[in-house]
Amino acid sequence: MKHTLSVLVEDRPGALARIATMFARRGFNIDSLAVGPTERRGVSCITLRVDCEHHSLEQIEKQIHKLVNVLRVTELAPDEAVERELLLLKVSASPERRAELITTAEAFKGRVVDLGPDAILFELTGTPEELDSFQELARPHGIQELVRTGRVGMARASAKRQARRLSAIN
């Protein structure tokens, strides 16, 4: 089963490496990884997606929380969190096919961020499943390049604050 973890860490050198190394030593593959600053100065959020059983997840959370610079570990429950991903996709587009591709992107709330003589660069933000769908629709046109950020997530504003978490800060 896939799980999404949100890990708040002090913004210090080596914090990400310690977490990634902990996963590697225990034989867990990280499916998705995104890191960025938070509203707190000097604190970053690492969002990880991992495939493991529930009892293994509890061990992972405990091990992460023991690491230096880790402030809080939270599992983002699918029904109590909002998760998004960013996709940049460059697809071949002859002048006759551009309108079709742009209309498809608009259906996914995507937008054109660059236009070349024989290609279009799209930007889409959405759930990983939405991005997968757009990617599959664009594939027959010829995908030239593709980059995805990995999931980022946050507990819903309406979610109860009792989300499962181990905490060193509030």
DSSP letters, 67-118, are STTEEEEEE--GGGEEEEEEEEEEEE--TTTHHHHHHHHHHTT-EEEEE-SS
The CATH label, of 3.30.70.890, 3.30.70.1150, 3.30.70.2190, 1.25.40.10, for the domain at 82-153 is: 3.30.70.1150
The residue-averaged pLDDT of 17-35 equals 94
Name the residue ranges covered by the structural domains of the chain.
2-76, 82-153
Given a cut of 90, is residue 83 above it in pLDDT?
yes
CATH number of the domain at 2-76, please?
3.30.70.260
pLDDT tens for 93-115 read 998 999 999 999 999 999 999 99
Q: What is the pTM of this model?
A: 0.84
Write the pLDDT tens digit of every residue in 120-159: 999 999 999 999 999 999 999 999 999 999 999 999 998 7
What is the chain's mean pLDDT, rounded? 91
